[in-house]
Structure 1
């Protein structure tokens, strides 16, 4: 069985193509959104999703979030006494989604289409594939998120030729892609983006504003528990301002309470630098596609952060029209991934659609520029494949050595847009043996071949001898080797995953513990008694007693959160 997965920075979700349509897969709690959070419980078991997110405030040293931003890097995150790579944490999210799908479908799920930001680098894409492998999934295709959003909106079903732009602002990344549909072919004309811009940055801007306006003590900036509480309040206020004109951030520190009333204009002021950053990738994509905004037939929104009114106003202003908002932006990418999964298995309900993509970055080599007969300026980047070239693609350029009688040509392969290679990403090296001859007689054809799965082959052919050497860029600095992947698989297999059928109770307990820490006085004492009562019910392992107890505790927690009162008389 194959499913589509949106592996997100803030939330992840899965969908399946069946009965001629995409269908979202609920998790063990009945939600379609699973928070991209992982936490280690006191007994060493792993909590994934909402239960882990609840522990961000109470156990920040044992909980990780936003790790998608570190995919493809050597960074590790410590949970308790154990270090995890971003691929491993992502694998735990994927494993949970896989289990949810198997529970719903009643059969094993072994294959997946996983979406990635269009602007993800080669290393980030390979790291995503590794995460799928660690989760026990064969990754059939990495699908760019904007392309998935276009599929969900049925853009591929439109009969007439059309051009549309997908504006995808998620929790941690921003993508913009321009796609064109003609004669059953959906072609990506251009992609641009920012891998470090998303809804979480708007939350952080609100956190900074809270500190500045209330002039909080410096020690609170270094307090991880206070920081998580403040971040949670900022996230809640950001969501509230999507539907209301006012919101309040309220955080306790011991006996001290800090409160800030917010308006949407205050949020817009705090987020002004972020809104400015959203414009640059849009303008770049339009330039690369050689299009004006008036030549676009539709603007499609994807990603939960596009719910913010200030973002929608920005989009409307930039394009002079209202964007398409008929699908839930949180769900649209997963729905599109399921369409692609249906295309992979050639479901009869889907008309075949040819999809072309582009290389999000330029790929090339390091060259020296001869200033005169005696001096050379080294370290320059010369693109062989320009960014936004349709893939699969093969391009060739000719180079000559710097000196006569040079024994070999060392081709240093890079990815990026900067003029100098020091500001780009090094992908690999290819050493080309040369015959003893003058520079002019040692010309070398360098061919770059790049496919839809992000696999790059570099081949060099020496004209004088006809000799060819080639390298396939499969690994990147910081990525796991096959031996390391096998070792990490064994490590993950040893972890105790919290039982899916008890996750609802554990999530509720994590929420209760978070609110207990925020309460004071009689209310705190009363809530402690309610938690103890529910723990005793769980100890009976009798669902007939646990279920009504769970409902009663949920209602109590709802009352506390709705009233936003954490001290005073008991509820």
Structure 2
């Protein structure tokens, strides 16, 4: 029985896997017979959607109706309009979530077809819709929420969103059963970069720390090559070929192919055809490495920071106090392997620089498939069973009238409904649901805090940080605040996300991701103490609450990510997706 699917929703390629009857993760081929599918969407019309290799070719012929690298826009705000990023194609305005849903719809459709073809799913059984989707380890609340929304629009039951390097480590632990290891996962994908240090004990990964960037990936190597190609053409023909959009798309395809060729050969022949004619030249691997060395060095700077944080945790010191000697000690005494993950890690310059800098030969860890396989392992563990005694406790807690409704919600892992009843449900059942599929220990991807005045004079708003980046999850922190006005009837809590590591931060250092509204039952005098608590569970779900000591009352605030899709926007996207055909 196939319990669920693991999905690597990549910037440039996506992949789906499942767990077979021997408990091994297996990648499912798409309709074209390939293990991975280009994460490119071509809108042939409002009704006909093409995803994959054919769509990738349409980047040249139909650039206005084709979308690539949409993952980089997930959960993001437009710098100019300060509104969520949208794309308008064939007169329809679509969010990155909806466009990503097209990719998910196609690859899950193909995966189910493959399961039927190989006899793992009978024609009488419904398609597998339960999935675990991966995301970059540094993704914050907005990006993770957007990924989950994409799955919902695609008609999937998203059981969990897990970090890509952790998924790769799960697969590595599965392959190397019984080994106690501390591994560093260097994940250079098509559009994003992650580096994560993970301890593996009894096959269970424990994330120590993570870092990365959503603006560093193979695409940036492509951009550098396009820049170089354009400069060569301008030098010979006196014209910039990038001014012609059709030629520009051809240059990007040429850049990608050149990068692949130079990963296997010492040189590559280049031919550029522009409006002023053709030029031919040869590019060597050394030239390629020189043109892109700043990009590789950026990835190493994140890797160095990650090692420093891991050493600080290991030796119980502040990050600023860690010396280079201690980092080297950690590197050579604690680290057992450096794993390369992500298609762009195939470039020889990556393994070459890692060995040169750290003195450890990096291992290629199933580069294109490891993340999807790890997600599949997580998906297979995402089912929680309860005894008849447990269900009787639920019935007693919620009453006969609500029992069937609540039981179904618990079985499906419906977080919103479980949240409504969590005060009366048996605590062990709520805790099990919160950690569904979490067969690893995770860390907070960013720092989370609330805005408050630094003093009673209202002179300056600052961010008071509760949960810091790379804090081990679950995590709960409480800080005391006081009401500012006489007769105050509530508290507005603005929640901020940042990469800072200090107890307090300037407002502009953070990104406001949502608000919690905490209402008092009565008006309160100025200076009333309020305990504000931020809690992040193992799955990365953030909760906000407040406790009023004088009345011994607890107030729970609702938390909504600022730039998430509204209920109506989601409904419209779901309906469009249902009535579209996918190829």
Give the TM-score category using the shorter length: 0.7 to 0.9
Provide TM-score, normalisation by structure 2. 0.78
Counterpart position of 2:379: 341
1:381-419 CA distance string (max 9 Å, x none)? 221011111222222112234567766543221111342
Query: What's the offset of the Cα at 1:366?
Result: 1.4
1:365 touches 1:411 (CA, 8 Å); kept in 2? yes
Which residue in the other structure is 1:368 paired with?
A: 453
1:90 to 1:313, Cα distance in 2 relative to 1, 3 A: same
* SS at structure 2 position matched to 1:153: helix
Residue 579 of structure 2 is aligned to residue 494 of structure 1:
yes
After TM superposition, give the deviation of residue 173 of structure 1 in Å.
Answer: 0.7
2:49 aligned with 1:46, yes or no? yes
* Cα distance between partner residues in 1 of 2:460 and 2:174: 47
CA contact (8 A) 1:379 1:422 kept: no
The Cα of 1:194 is off from its aligned counterpart by 0.6
Unaligned stretches of 5+ residues in structure 2: 77-83, 122-126, 315-329, 386-436
Structure 1 residue 82: deviation in Å? 3.4
Q: 1:406-452 deviations in whole A, cap 9, x for unaligned?
A: 6654322111134222232212223444865453xx22211111123
Q: Is 2:509 aligned against 1:471?
A: no
Q: CA deviation at 1:490?
A: 1.1
User: Does residue 84 in structure 1 map to residue 108 in structure 2?
Assistant: no
How many Å separate the matches in 2 of 1:255 and 1:222?
Answer: 12
- By how many angstroms is 1:143 displaced? 1.7
Distance 1:27-1:495 versus aligned 2 partners, 3 A rule: same
In the TM superposition, what is the alpha-carbon distance from 1:186 to its structure 2 partner? Answer: 2.2
Instruction: Give the aligned partner of residue 14 of structure 2.
Output: 12
**Residue 242 of structure 1, aligned match among 260, 263, 273:** 263
Q: Which runs of 5+ in 1 are unaligned?
A: 499-571
Match of 2:516 among 426, 430, 434: 430
Give 2:319's aligned residue: none
Cα root mean square deviation, aligned: 2.5
- Map of 2:495 onto structure 1: 413
Instruction: Provide the secondary structure at the position in 2 that maps to 1:357.
Output: coil
1:75 to 85, 88, 92: 85
- What is the aligned partner in structure 1 of residue 302 from structure 2? 281
Contact 1:210 1:260 in 2 (8 A): no
2:180 aligned to which of 158, 161, 165? 161
The alignment partner of 2:561 has SS state of: coil
**How far apart are the structure 2 equivalents of 1:37 and 1:380?**
41
Number of aligned residues: 487
Question: 2:255 & 2:461 partners in 1: Cα distance?
Answer: 45
Q: Among residues 427, 437, 440, which one is paired with 1:355 in the alignment? A: 440
SS at match of 2:85: coil
Change (3 A) 1:491 1:328: same
Residues 177 and 285 in structure 1, CA contact (< 8 A), matched pair in contact too: yes
What displacement does 1:329 show?
Answer: 0.5
Kept in 1, the 8 Å contact 2:168–2:370? The answer is yes
| Offset, 1:202 | 0.7
For residue 172 of structure 1, the aligned residue among 184, 191, 208 is 191
1:331 to 369, 376, 384: 369
Deviation at 1:68, TM superposition (A): 0.7
Q: Which residue of 1 aligns with 2:464?
A: 382
TM-score (norm 1): 0.80
Q: 1:51 to 1:444 in 2, by over 3 A?
A: same
Residues 496, 514 of structure 2: 8 Å contact kept: yes
Q: Comparing 229-238 with 74-83, which one deviates more in the overlay?
A: 74-83
The alpha-carbon distance between structure 1 residues 356 and 136, as it changes in their structure 2 partners (threshold 3 A), is same
Q: 1:214 aligns with which of 198, 223, 233?
A: 233
